[in-house]
Amino acid sequence: MRPYTYAQPRTVREAVRDAKPGTAFLAGGTTLVDLMKLEVMSPGRVVDINRLPLDGITLDHEGLHIGALERMSDVAAAPAVRRHYPMVAQALELSASAQLRNMASIGGNLLQRTRCSYFRDVTTPCNKREPGTGCSALEGINRGHAVLGTSDACIATHPSDLAVPLVALSTTVHLASARGTRTVPLETFYTLPGDTPDVENVLRPNELVTGITVPRSPWAAHSLYLKIRDRQSYEFALTSAAVALQLRGRTIVNARIAAGGVGTRPWRLTAVERALTGRPATSATFEAAVAGAADGARPREHNRFKPALLRRTLVRALTELQENR
């Protein structure tokens, strides 16, 4: 770890005002500190934001509002989340370990860096860490890597479980900088790697995530998050599915579907949503609707199983949701 200066502001205005080039914001530290130890990230200045008034979990007519500094475990346990947005609580509970969930913040979870081993190994080429050096994963060990949204420059998988249901539910992210505040849909907040995989989102220099809003909807309460992984704890997804349905009798009148573990960002499956809408909630409908879920996939040598696994994951999630109705 290299030397850095440290600040602990008490207001958002002070935090963004003091954020100079090379600044990193510190919340739970469960990603930043690890990457600083590995020298993957070497900020010259660390701004500790834990004193800022960015907490709170509230539900009103607009939806669910969560402060960026709320801890993952607290959000997962909140009655409003468990009752009205169950797949958000489930995604949080299936993330990391209990110890990490007690420390990690909601804002930090959404901004966590990829778990690609080449990104974390400073002795190997990685366009995300050092633009222009190459992507070691293309011909390396790529079993856990993305098959959707990839480019010749990067195939790193987006790591967040939480972001998957939030994208499915049309969540917005609240941002603040010295220039003011703005709100961005989470689905467009994350960028595809293209030729610039080091640019992972639309955050402007020294801009701070202050919170999120998950809209109210008639389908959010009837939702489920399913995570498929090599082991049942402390493991990242090979595939995951966030599914929410609004039913009238046995007919699907609205669907919201997103996938994780397969994309370079949380992957909204709007074609699957359209294929489900207006159809009966049956196994035949589910199988037919997910047939094209992996269209456009570009699997590599070790992750060729992912498109088929994604389709099976989606059918299982939809079936479990319908059976638990």
User: Which residue is listed with tokens 């949380």?
Assistant: 266
Please name the residues in contact with 190: beta carbons below 8 A apart, sequence gap of 6 or more. Answer: 158, 163, 200, 201, 265, 266
Task: Note the pLDDT tens digit of each residue in 262-273.
Answer: 999 999 999 999
pLDDT at 19: 80
DSSP state of 297: -
Q: Looking at domain 223-323, which of 3.30.390.50, 3.40.50.740, 3.40.190.10, 3.20.20.80 is its CATH number?
A: 3.30.390.50
pLDDT-derived band at 20, boundaries 50, 70, 90 = confident
Residue 17 tokens read as 């005002």
Map out the domains of the chain as residue ranges: 1-48, 223-323
Shared fold status for 1-48 and 223-323: no
Task: Note the pLDDT tens digit of each residue in 243-300.
Answer: 999 999 999 999 999 999 999 999 999 999 999 999 999 999 999 999 999 999 999 9
Residues 207 and 181: beta-carbon distance below 8 Å? no
Considering the domain delimited by 1-48, tell me its CATH architecture: 2-Layer Sandwich (3.30)
Could you tell me which of 15, 19, 11, 17 has the C-alpha nearest to residue 52?
Answer: 11
Task: Specify the pTM.
Answer: 0.97
